[in-house]
Amino acid sequence: MELKQVNDQVWLTRVQLDGYGVQGALIRGETGVVLVDTLSHPSDMAPLLPLIQGRSLTIVYTHADWDHIWGTGGLPWEGARIIGHRACLERFDTDVPATLREKQGAQPHRWGGIKLIRPTETFSRKLCLDAGALEMTLHHLPGHTPDSIVLFLEKYGMLFMGDAVETPFPCLERTSPLSRWIEALDAWEGDSRVQRVIPAHGHMGGRKIIRQNIAYLQDLLDGRPPVITEPLTDFYRHTHGENMAFAGNLASG
């Protein structure tokens, strides 16, 4: 796990998986630590323990996809607040354990030690958090998945977007609500408080990332193949094909 300090109160966490990276963050206030996602393995979390020590821990799941939540077992999670969208908690009874079984079957050595740890607290639209003289807000942003949320840290103008945006483009599900997704992204794109956009996959940047994701989704919604100018990795070439197929089905269904 790579740990990168951004300022006195924010660190970025990152691991490389097969074909793509996953990024989260640690935000430290005077009395508490808020962790944005726990990445994919408990061992990913070890470098964070000294930063958490002596403070209350709040874990935020941007959504319940495996690569964002499987690291929780490596943290002092038993006394922690663990927050996700209401739909995130529901997924712990459906696809979350199914994905773990599937990946443990394929690679028992690599994933054998994973323990699934559910949210202890949920919300539906918006939730405010305070890490001690450091406030932030969570907002539902369904699209990539029904339980996707973003975290806004106004003090630094930082918007942690999970998989609501990605570079080079986002990943759809079979039933992604494209218009609603675009509408929510539009609101953030027009919010001048947002200075830095931090997706869980890809690189960070300004609100231009949101703009590019909107353009891609709008093309799919309008039935136009999005124009991709940059070279794609195998992962994103495959994802793009899948996105086009899902969008085609959404339009015809």
Residue ranges that bind Zn ion, judged by CB under 5 A: 65, 163
User: For residues 81 and 121, what is the distance between their CA atoms, to the nearest angstrom?
Assistant: 7
Shortest gap between Cβ of 53 and Zn ion (angstroms)? 28
Based on CB atoms, which residue is closest to Zn ion, 163 or 189? 163
Whichever of 65 and 189 has its CB closer to Zn ion, that residue is 65
* 52 vs 161 by CB, closer to Zn ion: 161
Task: Report the residue number, 82 or 171, with the smaller CB distance to Zn ion.
Answer: 171
Name the minimum Å distance from CB 163 to Zn ion. 4
- Taking the complex as a whole, the smallest distance from the CB of residue 66 to Zn ion amounts, in Å, to 8
CB of 246 to Zn ion, least distance (A): 16
Nearest residue to Zn ion, by Cβ distance, number only? 163
Q: Nearest approach, Cβ of 187 to Zn ion (angstroms)?
A: 22
Q: Which is nearer to Zn ion, 33 or 161 (CB)?
A: 161
Cα dihedral 102/174/167/97 (nearest 10): -30
